[in-house]
Chains A and B, each alone.
Chain A
Amino acid sequence: MAVVPKFVGARIKRREDPRLISGTATYVDDVRLPGTLSAVVLRSPHPHARINSIDAAAARSAPGVVAVLTGEELKGKVGGIPCVAPAEHIPFHPLLAQGKVRFVGESVAVVVATDAYKAQDAADLIEVDYDPLNAVSDPEQALADDAPILHEEFGNNLVTRALIPNPAVDEAMAKADRVVKFRIKNQRLAPVPMEPRGVLAQWHQANGQLTVWTSTQIPHLLRSALAAVLSLPENRVRVIAPEVGGGFGAKLNFYREEALIAHLSRMLGQPVKWIERRRENLATTTHGRDQITYLEVPVKNDGTVLAIKAKFICDMGAYLQLLTPAIPGFSGLMMTGCYKIPAMSFEQVMVFTNKMATDAYRGAGRPEAAYIAERTMDMVAAELGLDPVAVRRRNFIPKEAFPYVTCAGLVYDSGDYDAALTKALEIVDYPKARAEQAEALKHGRYIGIGVASYVEICGIGPSVMLPPKVPGWESATVRMEPDSRVTVLTGISPHGQGQETTFAQMAADAFGVDIDDVTVVHGDTAIVQYGVGTFGSRGLSVGGTALMMSVGKLQDKLKKIASTMMEAPPDQLTFTNRTVALQSDTTKAIPLQAVVDAAYGWKMPIPGMEPGLDATSVFEPSGCTFPFGTHVAVVEVDPETGVVKFLRYVAVDDCGNIISPLLVAGQVHGGIAQGIAQALYEEVVYDENGQLVTATLMDYAAPRAQMLPHYELAHTVTPSPLNPMGVKGVGEAGTIGSTPCMVNAVMDALKPLGVRHIDMPLRPEKLWRAFKDAKKA
């Protein structure tokens, strides 16, 4: 018999790929049901307006139209969209606008027709009489006395205020040699998954059952929310996340259209499909970031940071989505980064504006935190005339200090920040790069070197850290089938991450079988036990631990059965090469199939033991994992054009042990790309009247191949003590490290001009102006 190799840690081609490269994968829009109707949503062109009347008569009688619905007609029939995070003011969030529209793109009516072309034709015939109102798009103006109020019932535009005071911060201010003060902005971004959102709903009238296919990261949580909004029993609702074309946090949500399309199917007794168009995606799928931060940082002249004090203005948009007001908390709690800063305090003011809601976007609060920490280190270095690397080293949490309790009360599981920094600097040859930079400047060339040492919080985590309806645990079922093949049912819902591969690697090794003997199933609430979903880099550290718990239960059962067949104690047995063997001598073995036969057979070898091989586990993490690393960028800024040219991009990431090196590289690459995009290119722009300016991919600068560098990756490995694999999570790391790294690099290039900070995105025009202004001065 051929030897079965080990799969964990090996370069394994993805098992998801054959269907994806052949064009046979099934995304929502590829699901075909007979008699499916198409829906098109009519949306507000106004940022803020009163709806006087809606005349849909012409649309209702247009060819192919089956139904038209407005907000008034939905009243009392369905609930609203929930926000599960606590906030002082949570407005009712209707499926279609009622009385007022509050952002450009807000859904006003829906047309259902025999095909999407006809539905669009009819939607164009609907006449809405609007009274435009003044709008507010600047979050700092939203709380002014004369600001237009979005939700009149609250009397102002405050969502909520969070205050974490600390008298030690004021003491640090008094003791400091200086206090570095600055304001930075994490601009609003659009997640732009390549597959827009989409929903197909099928109501089964005969048994009162609803099936919904939707492009989501959280099928089970969505099932609960849908059932509540539609007043259906949860066991009559089936949610299927088929192939999902990217999410990045934008599909960690519950959207109006998901409930609306389900309601329409129930109302019409036919399947109804709605596919989001890109313009809708940019206007009505959640945005990310949008935080302004005022910082005060007391320091010693040697670069020691004594405290960080921050005031955040957080733009929540017009309504609150699932987790909207929960995101900024992570920015505050993580803003001390990799550093042993003894005290911190912050105030967060979250406000309504006439824009789409913000919510999770890759990193969800932690990129903002890393940006604060890493811009702080560079601002302190610039203020004191020190090397940014030296300032980091002076303030790093030493590796002996782990587990380390931060001044925010977080427990960092493990880390060696200096090791990652040292490795990154070695790869880039830091002293040589600095020498080349100085030499280049003599010739009028502006080279910049940017360093960012990040730490982020993953595998969240203990459920108490999250709102009750989005818990931190995860589930897995492992079944060994009668032919000894393994089926894994996971509660996570991967959409590009590749756990059909990594989980198969883990299960295959655990049972000594081939990776082809394992099938991983996810994303269907009728098949998979209740789970939570894929977000926050939790798939492997939380979902993978649940998997290994179930694997362990089956291993125990198989060993107990085998022990009666081999006359050896269970704890001396192991799984290898499709056998159960003695650990001390694996030639003394019986076929795994023989043990499986016994488990499924008519007579269990152990009296009283349940037949079958099936185990389910739920893992509730005791703490969070804290991946970290250092990114270094070398760039050159052209003073004539302001264009940033990439010379080097080195990323040293520590995500603990690595199960699948190829997939880790993919995650890091994609993360870096999105982080650099924030630093240099992307911004969702609303003008001062609340009109959306970046409504197409012509105007929203998601980067193309030529706009990104070649990445050089390396790793340090500091296992997490919190899970049996020692993994930390890597889905967001690249995004978190790369944004401050790239901004630090560009600002370093502009240092000879005396420029300390320019807000992102650092587009050529801004940099060109900086050179021009410097020349004038």
Chain B
Amino acid sequence: MRVNLTINGHPRGDEIEPRLLLVHYLRDVAGLTGTHVGCETTLCGACTVLLDGKAVKSCTVLAAQADGASVTTVEGLAKDGGLHPIQEGFWEEHGLQCGYCTPGMMMAAVDLLSRTTNPSEDEIRHALEGNLCRCTGYQHIIKAVQYAAEKMRAAAGR
């Protein structure tokens, strides 16, 4: 079957098997390997991408379901050569170690920050409950999200 979608602002279309998962489409067909597979069962969040602006686990979405949609992956975060504030936050606050959960973690955080501009520590912990990190113990991830929130508020003049 054929899917037509937009990935990180670039439209594309491909012939695919109906059973192909979105994460495998992104990694193996579109060649965007920044999105990782950690569990294939929606439990770890390593594969989180934005589907029409909302965070989804791309390991349990069929590529076919993304037909006509707009997908944002970690590769689409940086704009005009500058890092996205969430990327800056993770770097600045040591929000990653092995880096495997990081793309999914950042996408889930971007989803949160699109809904609330000044999340509390509890809200951040809650919003990231679908994303596992085994290295950081989460504290620096929370600081990274707070860093990004502040940066984005400042940029928006709030």
Chain A residues with CB under 8 Å of B50's CB are none
CB < 8 Å neighbour of B141 from A32, A705, A711: A705
B56 at the interface (CB under 8 A from A): no
Q: Residue B17 at the A interface, CB < 8 A?
A: yes
Pick from A438-446, A663-671, A756-764 the stretch touching chain B: A663-671
CB pair A194 B90 closer than 8 Å: no
Tell which of A117, A277, A665, A666 touches B40, judged by Cβ atoms closer than 8 Å.
A277
The docked-state distance in angstroms from the alpha carbon of A495 to that of B137 is: 16
CB of B39 within 8 Å of the partner chain: yes
Contact pick for B137, options A195, A496, A698, A708, CB 8 Å: A708
Q: Residue B139 at the A interface, CB < 8 A?
A: yes
State A670–B141 Cα separation when bound (angstroms).
Answer: 11
> Is A732's CB within 8 Å of the partner chain B?
no
Check if B44 sits within 8 Å of A278, measured CB to CB.
yes
Closest to B90 in A: A21
Inter-subunit contact B138/A195 (CB<8 Å): no
Point out the residues of chain B lying under 8 angstroms from A19, CB to CB.
99
- The 8 A CB mask of B18-52 against A (1 = contact, 0 = none) is 01100000010001111111111101101000000
Residues of chain A with a CB closer than 8 A to B153's CB: none
Q: Provided the pairs A23-B33, A195-B100 are in contact, do residues A496 and B135 lie with their beta carbons within 8 angstroms? A: yes
Q: How far is the CA of A669 from the CA of B93 in the complex (A)?
A: 13
Q: How far is the CA of A140 from the CA of B74 in the complex (A)?
A: 49
Q: How far is the CA of A20 from the CA of B37 in the complex (A)?
A: 15
Q: Mark A1-37, 1 if CB is under 8 A from B, else 0.
A: 0000000000001101111111111110110100000
A702/B99 in contact, CB under 8 A? no
Asked whether any CB of chain A lies closer than 8 Å to the CB of B75, the reply is yes
Contact bitstring A596-627, B, C-beta under 8 A = 1, else 0: 00000000000000000000000000000000
Give the CA-CA distance A246 to B100 in the complex, in Å. 8
Q: Is the Cβ of B87 less than 8 Å from the Cβ of A708?
A: no
Please report the total number of A residues contacting B with Cβ < 8 Å: 56
Asked if B110 lies at the interface with its beta carbon under 8 angstroms from chain A, I say no
CB atoms of A17 and B44 under 8 A apart? no
CA distance A639 to B10 in the complex (A): 56
B140, A21: Cβ atoms under 8 Å? Answer: no
Number of interface residues of B (CB under 8 A): 57
Tell whether, in the assembled complex, residue B134 and residue A702 are in contact, meaning their CB atoms are under 8 Å apart: yes
Min CB gap A770→B, angstroms: 27
Known interface pairs A21-B83, A23-B74, A117-B17; A495-B98 also in contact (CB < 8 Å): yes
B103: chain A residues within 8 A (beta carbon): 23
A706 with B126, Cβ < 8 A, contacts A23-B33, A245-B98, A666-B94 known: yes
B55 close to A (CB within 8 Å): no
Q: Are A23 and B73 in contact (CB under 8 A)?
A: yes
Contact B78 A248 (CB under 8 A): no
Chain B CB count within 10 A is highest, among A16, A21, A275, A278, for A21
Kindly provide the distance from the CB of A666 to the nearest chain B CB, expressed in whole angstroms: 5
Instruction: Quote the shortest CB–CB distance from B10 to chain A (angstroms).
Output: 15
List of A residues within 8 angstroms of B96 by Cβ = 17, 20-21
**Given A244, A696, A702, which contacts B98 in the complex, CB threshold below 8 Å?**
A244
On whether the beta carbons of B139 and A25 are closer than 8 Å, the reply is no
**Shortest beta-carbon distance from B136 to chain A in Å:** 5
Contact residues in B for A469 (Cβ distance below 8 Å): none
Within 8 A of A (CB), among B72-128: 73-75, 77-78, 83, 87, 90-92, 94, 96-103, 106, 121, 124-126, 128
CB distance from B94 to the nearest CB of A (A): 5
Residues in A with CB closer than 8 Å to B35 are 23
**Which residue of A has the minimal Cβ distance to B44?**
A697
- B132 within 8 Å of A by Cβ? yes
Per the bound structure, the CA–CA distance linking A734 and B77 in Å amounts to 33
- Complex CA distance for A32 and B100, rounded to whole angstroms: 18
In Å, the complex CA distance between A178 and B97 comes to 48
Docked complex Cα distance between A666 and B94 (Å): 7
A80 to chain B, nearest CB (A): 30
Contact flags B125-158 to A (C-beta < 8 A → 1, else 0): 1101111111111111110000000000000000
Which of B83, B100, B106 has the largest count of A CB atoms less than 10 A from its CB? B100
A705 adjacent to B140 (CB under 8 Å): no
Q: Please, which residues of chain B bring their CB within 8 A of the CB of A697?
A: 39, 41, 43-44, 132
Closest to A11 in B: B94
Question: For residues 668 through 722 of chain A, which have their beta carbon under 8 Å from a beta carbon of chain B?
Answer: 669-674, 696-698, 702, 704-706, 708, 710-711
Complex: A194 Cα to B141 Cα, angstroms:
15
On whether the beta carbons of A22 and B97 are closer than 8 Å, the reply is: no
CA distance A248 to B125 in the complex (A): 24
> Max chain B CB contacts within 10 Å: which of A22, A27, A665?
A22
Q: Does A482 contact B (CB under 8 A)?
A: no
Question: Is there an interface contact between A27 and B44, defined as CB atoms closer than 8 Å?
Answer: no
How near does chain A come to B124, taking the closest CB pair, in angstroms? 7
Contact A18 B91, beta carbon cutoff 8 Å: yes
Cross-chain contact B129 with A21 (CB below 8 angstroms)? no
Among the listed B36, B77, B91, B125, which residue makes an inter-chain contact with A195, where contact means beta carbons less than 8 Å apart? B36
A764 to chain B, nearest CB (A): 17
Measured in the bound complex, the distance between the Cα atoms of B133 and A193 in whole Å is 9
Residues on A with beta carbons closer than 8 Å to the beta carbon of B73: 23
Interface members, chain A 261-302 (any B CB < 8 Å):
275, 277-278
Whether A30 and B33, one on each chain, are in contact in the complex, defined by CB atoms closer than 8 angstroms, is yes
- CB B20 to nearest CB in A, in angstroms, measures 8
Query: In chain A, what residue has the closest Cβ to B101?
Result: A194
Give Cα distance in the complex from A664 to B41, angstroms: 33
Contact: B132 with A245, CB < 8 Å? no
- Determine if A25 and B99 form an interchain contact, defined as CB atoms under 8 angstroms apart: yes
Tell me, in angstroms, the Cα distance from A734 to B31 when the chains sit together: 38
Residues of B contacting A550 with CB < 8 Å? none
A711 and B121 alpha carbons, distance in the complex (Å) = 13
Interface mask (A223-259 → B, CB under 8 Å = 1, otherwise 0): 0000000000000000000011110100000000000
In the complex formed, the residue of A with least CB distance to B43 is A697
- Give the complex CA separation of A243 and B99 in angstroms: 9
A662 touches B (CB below 8 Å): yes
Contact across chains for B133 and A194 when beta carbons are under 8 A apart: yes
Q: Closest approach, in angstroms, between the C-beta of A483 and any C-beta of chain B?
A: 26
State whether A245 touches B140 (Cβ < 8 A).
no
Cβ-closest chain A residue relative to B125: A705
Q: Closest residue of chain A to B19, judged by CB? A: A117
**A121, B43: Cα distance in complex, Å:** 24
Question: A317: CB under 8 A from chain B?
Answer: no
Cα(A78)–Cα(B138), bound, Å: 43
Flag whether A196 is at the interface (Cβ < 8 A): yes
Indicate which residue in A22, A275, A669 contacts B136 across the interface (CB closer than 8 Å): A669
A498 within 8 A of B: yes
Q: Is the CB of A704 within 8 A of B97?
A: no
Nearest CB on B from A494, distance (A): 9
Q: Tell me whether A356 is interfacial, beta carbon within 8 Å.
A: no
By a CB distance below 8 angstroms, the chain B residues around A662 are 94
Interface presence of A192 (CB below 8 A): yes
Listed residue (B94, B99, B106, B141) with the most chain A CB atoms within 10 angstroms of its CB: B99
A278–B121 Cα distance when bound, in Å, is 29
The 8 A CB mask of A28-67 against B (1 = contact, 0 = none) is 0110100000000000000000000000000000000000
27 A–B pairs (Cβ distance < 8 Å), ordered by A: A14-B91, A16-B99, A19-B99, A21-B90, A21-B102, A23-B34, A24-B34, A24-B75, A25-B99, A27-B33, A30-B27, A192-B132, A195-B38, A278-B40, A496-B98, A498-B97, A663-B94, A665-B94, A666-B97, A673-B136, A697-B41, A702-B134, A704-B130, A705-B125, A705-B133, A708-B138, A711-B139
B-side residues, CB < 8 A to A, are 17, 19-20, 27, 31-41, 43-44, 46, 73-75, 77-78, 83, 87, 90-92, 94, 96-103, 106, 121, 124-126, 128-142
